[in-house]
């Protein structure tokens, strides 16, 4: 419950809303006080859910790529960072995003294949070597233009954009410059924290 309390401070309005939601007269016993508190906390969490923005949850330290980075360098950077995609920057502006899905067609798989499809192809002995990746750059691999989002965007809107476009990350920009990144994992973790605290 402490995470919930830190995430959403219960205010007088929440207590009043909880009291109006409770049936009948409240004889304030410890159990009733706890019940009232839980109802108030629910109202506070709902307020937080509606006000939570991308800027509050985004990662500010972003693993970024340069347009001229080779496919090998891109793959090594993503693997080393433990991420499946990163924005391509030029002068701080986001040109596009490279993700594992951008590599798949060049390895003989449809872009919508899962990473396990790549593993299955390799284990099955099918030719799935570097193909024509040796001279390919991040600029050629990337999906562009990149969908970006502002830090002030409500978290729910970010989740909707990711779902509608089938993407796992959104570069966060302000004044045309990258200031962070929000991922599907960030949205899921925030939603889970709110749900668990209710």
Residues 28 and 65 in one domain: no
Please indicate, yes or no, whether residues 61 and 158 belong to a single structural domain of this protein.
yes
pLDDT value, residue 134: 76
**Are 72 and 38 members of one domain?**
no
**In angstroms, how far is the first alpha carbon of the chain from the final one?**
8
Are residues 179 and 81 located together in one domain of the fold? yes
**Which among 32, 51, 70 is the end of a domain?**
51
Say whether both 79 and 103 belong to one domain.
Answer: yes
> What is the per-residue pLDDT for 129?
58
Which pLDDT belongs to residue 97? 96
Q: Based on the domain organization, do 71 and 163 belong to the same domain?
A: yes
Q: Which pLDDT belongs to residue 78?
A: 94
DSSP string, 95-110: EEEEEHHHHGGGGTS-
pLDDT for res 169: 93
Task: Specify the number of domains making up the chain.
Answer: 2
Q: Considering only CA atoms, which of 180, 105, 182 is closest in space to residue 141?
A: 105
Pair (97, 33) in one structural domain:
no
Contact predicate 84/59, CB 8 Å: no
Residues 62 and 36 in one domain: no
Cα 59 from Cα 152, distance rounded (Å): 14
Interatomic CA distance for residues 154 and 52, integer angstroms: 6
Instruction: List, for residues 101-131, the tens digit of each pLDDT value.
Output: 898 888 888 888 887 887 888 787 665 555 6
Global pTM value: 0.68
Q: Are both 7 and 85 inside the same structural domain?
A: no
The pLDDT assigned to 7 comes to 44
Same domain for 80 and 20, yes or no, is no
| Residue 141, domain extent | 56-197
**Whether 164 and 68 share a structural domain:** yes
Running DSSP on this structure, what letter comes out for residue 60? S
pLDDT along the chain (198 residues), means of 10: 46 68 67 72 62 87 95 93 94 94 85 82 68 84 94 88 90 95 85 58
pLDDT at 194: 58
CATH code for the domain of 109? 3.10.580.10
């Amino acid at each position: 419950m402490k995470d919930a309390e830190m995430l959403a401070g219960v205010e007088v309005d929440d207590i009043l809303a909880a009291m109006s939601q409770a049936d009948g007269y409240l004889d304030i016993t410890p159990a009733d006080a706890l019940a009232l508190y839980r109802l108030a906390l629910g109202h506070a969490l709902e307020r937080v859910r509606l006000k939570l923005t991308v800027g509050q949850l985004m990662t500010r330290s972003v693993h970024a790529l340069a347009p001229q980075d080779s496919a090998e360098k891109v793959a090594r950077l993503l693997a080393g960072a433990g991420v499946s995609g990163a924005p391509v920057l030029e002068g701080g502006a986001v040109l596009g995003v490279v993700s594992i899905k951008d590599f798949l067609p060049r390895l003989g798989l449809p872009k919508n294949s899962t990473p396990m499809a790549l593993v299955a192809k390799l284990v099955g002995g099918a030719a799935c070597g570097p193909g024509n990746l040796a001279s390919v750059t991040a600029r050629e691999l990337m999906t562009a233009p990149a969908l970006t989002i502002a830090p002030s965007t409500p978290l729910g809107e970010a989740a909707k954009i990711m779902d509608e476009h089938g993407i796992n990350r959104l570069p966060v920009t302000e004044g045309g410059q990258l200031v962070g990144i929000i991922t599907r994992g960030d949205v899921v973790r925030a939603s889970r924290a709110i749900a668990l605290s209710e």
